């Protein structure tokens, strides 16, 4: 029997379809089963039978040397790719000694070569080192924790793969490029005037505030925290209306669950949000008004004053006061009314001192202004109302354990989600409910215990598909047919070399006439649908044809009707060889 050859060709072919509708696409690489071919249309993988069919090029025994992919619907203006995609698996085994099936061995070697060609082609489509480059460090990706949210980079000395800049940092820099450009122009003097005018423009107000410096000092110590909390007053009010829900979330169990939720991803997100404050400050300073103020300050007198102020201590103090919020506060406080109010506050300095003692706590709350802002939205408040119930808190306590979080991470892969979607249909659920009874489970355990015996019985018969066609020719892959529509009148049977599972059984079948007896053996054909439907024949001869075998038979007994496409099981019992003939003659006998 002939076998395919595997040429050194690319196991893939691509087509660019124009305006004419096209359904048929030819390819020439070797394959063994229709499922070995993957088809993509504009990058979308299609499904065999549902979207396309395959007709292999005939003339080989256990494979095809190319063929045609036929789409169910014609396509225009798309790219079509046909790719060899043999599952990487071994489907047969060979004995440690004694004879084995050479046909099966050849097929396995052919498939192994095809899979190597398939893998070789995939390697050419992946990123790798140039063949001409001297071996260097291994091109191994950094660990997941080190590369999360990072760009891929290569070490400037060794060329090894490493984690590069944070994608969030790059995005943040990109978002403030205009502001950076404005500040750079001011710094190098190309805007015709120089900067830092905010302080100069409110010099009188600063002098007024200086008169109550002791009161300002206490407030200045927590100025950023006070400004941050004041900016989130509406959000804090919204959160305050959810006191009961926050009380439930503040239990030991809920806090433990929140600790589990404090993963690297959440921490990374908080770091990104923390950068937003700095970006906002830069955007405030990068406005036309601030640039104008800074230009006013760029006189010789002011420059002299700035040299005086340029000591480490003064620079530190100015850094504290030089935020947009503090400048805005100074403008607000620099009025006669505000000064009067501050004088009033000075009278209760001891109370202010008591509040100032809690500056650290206020600062801690203010550091979470962004998070409070998120929680204070209408949607977040509504969500907390839903999640803040006793039942929801209890559920989170159950789900928030390390084991459950680990289980959810295991189940949260695309493959498992896809499998769960497949199993989550009403029909499958009904089937699982049906199979999930104690009796059925017990039956399955019983069958599992005798699985070896069932396999032993099954191995005594060969499975075929029955064909009602009566011509004596190759009955088709895995098929068997009679030469007469009436079983009792059947005198010949055609059997394909392959059984209905695709295994080559011809080396066994052609031994069915090896007996030297006229009666070569007994053939039993039984219907897979009904054990009471059968046919028994005596084998009197055999012809080995290419791809199929013809038996000469004599009908012995039968019952029932075998229908077209029915599964049947065939077993043969060999007759013993004919013994030697006796000698002499018999002239008389007495009854």
> Domain spans of the chain?
12-124, 197-385, 460-574
Say if domain 460-574 classifies as CATH 1.10.10.
no
Residue 21 has what pLDDT? 97
Length of the chain in terms of residues written: 591
Residue 38 pairs in a beta bridge with 83
Residues in the chain with pLDDT < 50?
1, 192, 196, 199, 278, 282, 454, 457-458
Q: Is the dihedral of CA 108, 109, 110, 111 positive or negative?
A: positive
DSSP label of 584:
S
CA contacts within 13 A on the Cβ side of 308: 6
Residue 533 has what pLDDT? 96
* Listed residue (535, 215, 166, 191) closest to 350, CA to CA: 215
Rounded CA-CA distance 324/320 in Å is 11
**CB 294 within 8 Å of CB 186:** yes
Query: Hey, what are 174's tokens?
Result: 């990109």
Residue 433 has what pLDDT? 80
Residue 219 has what pLDDT? 63
Residue 1 has what pLDDT? 45
The distance from CA 482 to its chain's CA centroid, rounded to whole angstroms, is 51
Reduced to 3 DSSP states, what percent helix, strand and coil does the chain have, rounded to the nearest 5? Answer: 45, 20, 35
**pTM (two decimals):** 0.32
**For 125-157, b where at least 16 C-beta lie within 10 A, e where not — what string?**
eeeeeeeeeeeeeeeeebeeeebebbeeeeeee
Q: Which residue has the tokens 């009602």?
A: 468
The distance from CA 322 to its chain's CA centroid, rounded to whole angstroms, is 50
């Amino acid at each position: 029997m002939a076998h395919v050859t595997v040429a050194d060709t690319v196991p893939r072919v691509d087509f660019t379809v124009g305006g004419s509708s096209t359904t048929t696409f030819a390819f020439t690489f070797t394959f063994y089963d229709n499922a070995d071919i993957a088809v993509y249309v504009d990058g979308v993988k299609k499904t065999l039978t549902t979207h396309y069919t395959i007709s292999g090029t005939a003339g080989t025994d256990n494979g095809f040397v190319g063929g045609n992919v036929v789409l169910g619907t014609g396509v225009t203006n798309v790219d079509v790719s046909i790719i060899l995609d043999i599952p990487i698996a071994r489907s047969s085994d060979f004995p440690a000694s004694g004879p084995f099936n050479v046909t099966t061995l050849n097929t396995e070697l052919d498939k192994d070569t095809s899979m190597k060609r398939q893998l070789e082609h995939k390697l050419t489509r992946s990123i790798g080192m140039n063949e001409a480059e001297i071996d260097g460090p291994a091109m191994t990706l950094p660990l997941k924790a080190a590369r999360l949210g990072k760009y891929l980079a290569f070490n400037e000395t060794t060329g090894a793969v490493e984690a590069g800049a944070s994608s969030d940092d790059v995005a943040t820099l990109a978002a403030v490029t205009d502001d950076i450009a404005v500040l750079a122009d001011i710094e190098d003097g190309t805007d015709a005037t120089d900067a830092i005018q905010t302080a100069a423009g409110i010099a009188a107000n600063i002098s007024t505030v200086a008169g109550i410096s002791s009161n300002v000092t206490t407030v200045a110590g927590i100025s950023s925290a006070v400004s941050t909390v004041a900016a989130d007053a509406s959000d804090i009010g919204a959160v305050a209306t959810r006191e009961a829900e926050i009380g439930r979330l503040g239990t030991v169990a809920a806090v433990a669950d929140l600790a589990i939720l404090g993963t690297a991803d959440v921490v990374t997100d908080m770091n990104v949000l923390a950068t937003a404050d700095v970006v906002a400050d830069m955007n405030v300073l990068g406005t036309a008004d601030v640039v104008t103020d800074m230009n006013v300050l760029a006189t010789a007198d002011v420059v002299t004053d700035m040299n005086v102020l340029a000591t480490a201590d003064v620079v530190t103090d100015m850094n504290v006061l030089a935020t947009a919020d503090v400048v805005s506060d100074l403008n607000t406080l620099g009025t006669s009314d505000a000064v009067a109010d501050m004088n009033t506050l000075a009278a209760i300095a001891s109370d202010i001192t008591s509040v100032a003692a809690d500056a650290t706590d206020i600062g801690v709350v203010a550091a979470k202004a962004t998070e409070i802002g998120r929680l204070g939205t209408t949607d977040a408040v509504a969500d907390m109302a839903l999640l803040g119930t006793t039942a929801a808190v209890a559920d989170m306590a159950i789900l928030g354990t390390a084991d459950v979080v680990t289980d959810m991470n295991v189940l949260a892969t695309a493959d498992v989600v896809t499998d769960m979607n497949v199993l989550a249909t009403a029909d499958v659920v009904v089937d699982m409910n049906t199979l999930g009874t104690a009796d059925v489970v017990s039956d399955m355990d019983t069958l599992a215990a005798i699985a070896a015996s069932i396999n032993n019985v099954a191995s005594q018969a060969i499975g075929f598909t029955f064909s009602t066609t009566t011509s004596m020719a190759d009955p088709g892959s895995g098929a068997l047919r009679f030469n007469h529509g009436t079983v009792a009148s059947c005198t010949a049977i055609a059997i394909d070399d392959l059984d209905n599972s695709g295994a080559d059984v011809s080396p066994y079948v052609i031994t069915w006439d090896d007996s030297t007896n006229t009666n070569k053996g007994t053939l039993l054909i039984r219907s897979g649908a009904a054990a009471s439907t059968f046919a028994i024949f005596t084998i009197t001869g055999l012809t080995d044809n290419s791809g199929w075998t013809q038996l000469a038979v004599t009908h012995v007994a039968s019952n029932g009707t075998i229908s077209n496409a029915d599964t049947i099981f065939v077993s043969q019992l060999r007759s013993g060889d004919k013994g030697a003939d006796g000698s002499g003659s018999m002239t008389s006998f007495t009854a």
